[in-house]
């Protein structure tokens, strides 16, 4: 885990994080290329392996080859391990290995862990990493046990338990990769409340972030919760509730999605359709057959994503909430963004704005490039695919398996940028991560 570089090649903590993900992706792609990874015992196309390794490591869920029917058990386990590493962050896994070996975690390594967990401070990070791993494996085990109760009667003990473990890890890590087969995701279980609600709960738990769950756990003692956690919880509840209601209204008369379902199935599928875009690509209804307004709502939810320090992608709930808070504060004539009798510093508002603008930029550039390459595909299909990749969601209107080689490379890059974060990516490429101290004379421009 200790990394040394000479004076001619120095990298900061952010760059180590970015490079680490690339190394994991490459290792995963090499393993998936091997004949042992496919059911037909033959070498797999390198581009497809890189694409799927990127999707699994970046916990996205877009796949060009059906996970359930193409890959052998070895290949599926490789994908599952990539999902786990990508969801937790490779530094958390490295920390676990170092602790098991009795090694001390250096300051340099603590700084990398801080970037990986998106933490406010380096204090208590090693202890937090331990609790994070225990919490993760505990939640995944509970989810696997519940899902196994549904899969075992259908598939038998061994396969049922394996299906429970795979889908629990994939859901908690917000990956959305399934092994149901035939690119069907959860559509065969659209009326199974246990499977759909368990998957949805795992996605929400993983998408809130460990920092929030830590504060919830200690709330009974401290009787207070940070502004960050308040915004995460309120914005998450708002998006789920409003998303569910709108999705129900948009699709209730659509016979190709939930129109022909009983009320129970309509409600369940509406909940799943609201939860999974943030950011796990499971689906219980056909995404390609959704109404135009349903597709647009899904794209909006995918772009927002989950919360900071979680397994989810997107610009994050707090970023969207802060932008809305800033707009409301400006309209009210306030000089600063204010909420819950607290003032939020301008540097945080600027970071939220940068994250959003960079996210929009990635989506726009990716969409333009794919439009140039994938001529037969409609703008709707391409925009949906790009936002899904950027938000590390994994939902698709059916375009992914038909992407050309250049498009697969572009989408892989978008997934990578979406996972490590657009701001992190920009900082990793910058020469300096500390802002300059020179202040220029102030001037004015007209706005609006």
432 lies in some domain: no
User: Is 188 in contact with 407 (CB distance < 8 Å)?
Assistant: no
Tell whether 448 is covered by a domain.
Answer: no
Which helix (H) or strand (E) segment is 311 a member of? none
pLDDT at 55 over 70: yes
Going by C-alpha positions, the residue among 154, 136, 141, 137 that lies closest to residue 310 is: 136
Give the model confidence (pLDDT) of 121-162 as tens digits: 555 566 667 788 888 999 999 999 999 999 999 999 999 999
- In the chain, what is the straight-line distance between the N-terminal and C-terminal CA atoms, in Å? 51
Q: What is the pLDDT of residue 200?
A: 96
Q: Residue 45 is part of which domain span?
A: 13-424
Confidence band for 2, pLDDT divided at 50, 70 and 90: very low
Q: What does the DSSP assignment read for 237-258?
A: HHHHHHHHHHHHHHHTT-TTTT
Read off the pLDDT of residues 277-328 as tens digits, 9 standing for 90 and up: 988 889 999 999 999 999 999 999 999 999 887 878 899 999 999 999 999 9
Tell me the mean pLDDT in the region 29-39: 97
Domain assignment present for residue 198? The answer is yes
Dist. CA 303–CA 48, nearest whole Å? 25
| Domain annotation covers residue 437 | no
- Largest Cα separation within the chain, whole Å, is 72
Q: Are 92 and 113 in contact (CB under 8 A)?
A: yes
* Pick from 61-70, 225-234, 241-250, 359-368: least confident: 225-234
> Would 302 be classed as within a structural domain?
yes
The answer to the question of residue 177 being in a domain is yes
Write the DSSP assignment of 42-67 as a string of letters: SPPPHHHHHHHHHHHHTT----SS-H
Tell whether 70 is covered by a domain: yes
Instruction: For residues 342-351, give the mean pLDDT.
Output: 88
Asked if residue 222 is part of any domain, the answer here is: yes
At 433, list the tokens.
């991560």
Number of structural domains, the chain? Answer: 1
* pTM of structure: 0.90
> Which ranges of 71-124 does DSSP label H, i.e. alpha helix?
73-88, 90-100, 107-117
347 versus 324: which is more confidently predicted? 324
């Amino acid at each position: 885990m200790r990394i040394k570089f000479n004076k001619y090649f120095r990298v900061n903590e952010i760059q180590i994080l970015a490079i680490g993900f690339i190394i994991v992706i490459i290792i995963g792609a090499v393993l998936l290329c091997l004949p042992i990874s496919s059911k037909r015992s033959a070498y797999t196309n390198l581009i497809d392996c890189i694409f799927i390794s990127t999707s699994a490591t970046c916990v996205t869920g877009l796949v060009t080859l059906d996970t359930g029917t193409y890959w052998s058990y070895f290949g599926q386990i490789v994908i599952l391990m990539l999902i786990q590493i990508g969801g937790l962050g490779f530094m958390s896994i490295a920390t676990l290995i170092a602790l098991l070996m009795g090694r001390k975690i250096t300051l340099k390594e603590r700084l990398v862990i801080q970037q990986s967990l998106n933490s406010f401070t380096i204090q208590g990070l090693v202890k937090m990493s331990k609790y994070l791993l225990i919490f993760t494996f505990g939640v995944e085990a509970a989810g696997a046990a519940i899902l196994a109760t549904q899969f075992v009667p259908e598939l038998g003990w061994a396969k049922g338990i394996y299906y429970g473990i795979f889908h629990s890890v994939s859901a908690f890590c917000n990956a959305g990769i399934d092994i149901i087969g035939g690119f069907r995701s959860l559509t065969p279980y659209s009326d199974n409340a246990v499977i759909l609600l368990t998957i949805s709960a795992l996605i929400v738990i993983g998408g809130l972030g460990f920092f929030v769950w830590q504060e919830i756990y200690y709330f009974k003692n401290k009787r207070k919760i940070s502004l960050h956690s308040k915004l995460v919880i309120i914005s998450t509840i708002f998006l789920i509730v409003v998303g569910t209601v709108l999705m129900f209204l948009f699709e209730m008369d659509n016979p190709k999605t939930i129109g022909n379902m009983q009320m129970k199935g309509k409600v369940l599928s509406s909940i799943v359709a609201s939860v999974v875009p943030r950011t796990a690509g499971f689906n219980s209804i056909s995404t390609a057959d959704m109404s135009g307004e349903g597709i647009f709502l899904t794209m909006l939810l995918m772009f927002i994503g989950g919360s900071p320090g979680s397994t989810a992608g997107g610009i994050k709930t707090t970023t969207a909430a802060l932008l809305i808070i800033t707009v409301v504060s400006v309209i009210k004539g306030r000089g600063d963004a204010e909420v819950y009798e607290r003032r939020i510093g301008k540097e945080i508002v600027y970071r939220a704005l940068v994250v959003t603008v960079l996210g929009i930029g990635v989506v726009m550039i990716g969409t333009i490039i794919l439009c140039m390459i994938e001529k037969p595909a409609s703008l709707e299909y391409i925009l949906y695919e790009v936002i899904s990749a950027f938000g590390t969601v994994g939902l698709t209107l059916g375009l992914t398996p038909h992407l050309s080689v250049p498009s697969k490379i572009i989408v892989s890059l978008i997934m990578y940028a979406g996972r490590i974060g657009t701001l992190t990516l920009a900082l990793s490429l910058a020469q300096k991560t500390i802002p300059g101290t020179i202040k220029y004379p102030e001037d004015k421009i007209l706005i609006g």
